[in-house]
Amino acid sequence: MPFPLSTEPIKQKAADLGFFLCSVATAEPMEEEARRLEDWLNRNYHGKMGYMANHFELRTDPTKLVPGARSVISLGCNYHNPDVPEDPESPRISQYAYGEDYHKVIRRKLKALLQWMKEEYGDIQGRVFVDSGPVLERDWARRSGMGWAGKHTLLINRDAGSYFFLAEIIIDLPLVPDPPIKDYCGTCTRCIDACPTDAISPSGYLLDGSKCISYLTIELRESIPAEFKDKLEGWAFGCDICQEVCPWNRFAQHHAEPAFHPHPDLLAMTHSDWQEMTEELFLNVFGHTPVKRAGWNKLMSTTLKSNRD
């Protein structure tokens, strides 16, 4: 078997499983990314997300996660759904949280792809990751040419925009890597200008996570600081503002994953429905979605209160 191997069969199988993007990078220590992560942590831009400082060596060296790792396969799974609540006064949640918990949906696909690879290539070792484990997903996707890190720090693909999940398979199989691509943000500053909390650096490419609305409404377990309560702009869970204004998302297509469809009642919920939402209704609408992570108490006592004030 000649090495490195062509990735075309893997990319085709990935597409069959529902991944609309797939690219490959060589597994190696990430020295530049390690320095950038260290600087970001030293600025305390991770806020209360203490886990971001854990397992630093694992985050920056895939061979620590999979001994003998030769390749990192990055995969993109579209979640774009431009539908918005019928009531313009209704609190909003990020598109990625509309449907079934993506961790479960994508992990099933990743395991199926890895199993296929084992059947195809023999006794190989690998691990799958989807927004879990100490993996720098965006940086591996950038290295593999899936896209570039935009000024809002999210990955952007020229043909698909940025509304997609990232996932990885780290494997000890040598594969032909894909070349990285250049940055196409140019002089655009729409994401910087649109961020209500000034979380993005004026020059872009650096995010103070502790100011991001997604952090404030999801990760922060305590009360939202007073200086941000009137800047949420109606977001109850997550935030899509920097993606909504990005010109590259004019190419984003509606996803084709049934599991990511929202609960039938979600977009029909009015502002009053949200205000009167019981814990039972919360579990009925959001029990299988990422929103469950925030919990009914946080939505009612913190985020929704800040939307009322």
H helix intervals, the chain: 8-16, 31-42, 56-60, 102-121, 137-143, 190-194, 213-214, 241-244, 271-275, 279-286, 296-298, 304-308
Annotated catalytic residue 178: no
String of DSSP letters for 136-179: -HHHHHHHTTS-EE-TTSSEEBTTTBT-EEEEEEEESS-BPPPP
Residue 176, by phi and psi: left (phi above 0), alpha (psi -120 to 50) or beta?
beta
How many whole angstroms separate alpha carbon 271 and alpha carbon 197? 23
Residue 162, by phi and psi: left (phi above 0), alpha (psi -120 to 50) or beta?
alpha
Residues in Cβ contact with 264 at an 8 Å cutoff, skipping those fewer than 6 apart: none
Neighbours of 267 (CB within 10 A): 17
Tokens read off for 199:
């979380």
How many whole angstroms separate alpha carbon 11 and alpha carbon 101? 24
User: Of 87, 131, 183, 273, which residue is the catalytic one?
Assistant: 131
Element (H, E) at 92: strand 92-93
Please state, in angstroms and as integers, the Cα–Cα distance from residue 64 to each residue in 32, 55, 72, 135, following that order: 17, 10, 13, 11
Catalytic residues: 131
